[in-house]
Amino acid sequence: MTNIHPTAVIDPKAELDSEVTVGPFCVIGPEVKLSKGVKLHSHVVVDGITSIDEATEIFPFASIGTVPQDLKFGGERVELIIGKNNKIREHATMNPGTEGGGSITRVGDNGLFMIGTHVAHDCIIGNNVILANNATLAGHVELGDFAIVGGLSAVHQFVRIGEHAMIGGMSGVESDVIPYGSVTGERANLSGLNLIGLKRRGFAKSDIHAIRATYKFLFGEGEGVLKERISLIDDELKTVSAVKDILDFLTEETSRGFTTPATQGD
């Protein structure tokens, strides 16, 4: 394997494809598996029961797969599974799961995890996500496909963030965020829809209009609490798949409640 720098420390039990690249002073533990095209720049640590799929690239001083930051952790066999074609930048950290959370942290494909980002134990991360600089996810967070978490934001444990949602920079997210939603604030409130993201990703105008109508009905001025409004959504709107995504999300079980506009409670 000619792409392994001589200063790298690799346990002989680790499984490395012949086409991986490991830079200077990297450390790889005995139960690590690196697939074809994985590239570790210098000073990367990959430990634990960690698998990294094809073409994922990890930059200097990232710490991947070390024990979870959970005082209840007692050395159980837990995993970190990272998908294909991710970019994991400098000083990023990702931890494996815990026994109480299903024992697996899972990261999808095509993600960008910028400098200083953190993915805690038992998180489930979708595809094509972006965590901007120093964005942090606490334990058990679920992040849907194409979601973006802005820089210096923090997401509370057990929060679910729906697909295509946008978390503004420097936000503190304590409750679930609907798919396609946009939130911001020190204690984040729902501020509208991620319309720019929807247009960039080629959503049809008719679908965007349906999402906007649904949002206005659920969170605009009017009578009834959120649960009642969900049951009254127009049947025609329910035929739009994006609207169905929102309604399904709102009717799933949650321990955190939902992020709503500043002027309205659940």
Residue 172 within a domain? no
Domain extent at residue 81: 9-140
Among 111, 140, 169, the domain-final residue is: 140
Same domain assignment for residues 18 and 102: yes
**pLDDT score of 112 more than 90:** yes
Shared domain check, 120 and 208: no
What residues are annotated to the active site?
A: 121-122, 139
Q: Which tokens belong to 116?
A: 């200083």
Judgement on whether residues 113 and 211 belong to the same structural domain of the protein:
no
Last residue of a domain, one of 125, 140, 155: 140
Which of the listed residues 124, 140, 156 is the one where a domain comes to its end?
A: 140
Q: Do 133 and 219 reside in the same domain of the chain?
A: no
pLDDT of residue 186: 94
pLDDT in tens, 152-181: 999 999 999 999 999 999 999 999 999 999
In this structure, are 29 and 130 located in the same domain?
A: yes
pLDDT of residue 266 exceeding 80, the answer is: no
Number of domains in the chain: 2
Strands 181-184 and 189-193: antiparallel
Q: Let me know whether 133 and 209 are in one domain.
A: no
Answering whether pTM is above 0.85, one says: yes
When pLDDT is cut at 50, 70 and 90, the band that residue 60 belongs to is very high
Q: Tell me if 25 is assigned to some domain.
A: yes
Whether the pLDDT of residue 36 is over 50: the answer is: yes
The pLDDT > 90 percentage for the chain reads 96
The reply to whether 40 falls in a domain is: yes
pLDDT of 207 strictly over 80: yes
What CATH number should be reported for the domain holding residue 56? 2.160.10.10
Q: At what angle do helices 241-251 and 205-219 cross, to 10 degrees?
A: 30
Q: Is residue 1 packed enough to be buried (19+ CB in 10 Å), middle (13-18) or exposed (0-12)?
A: exposed
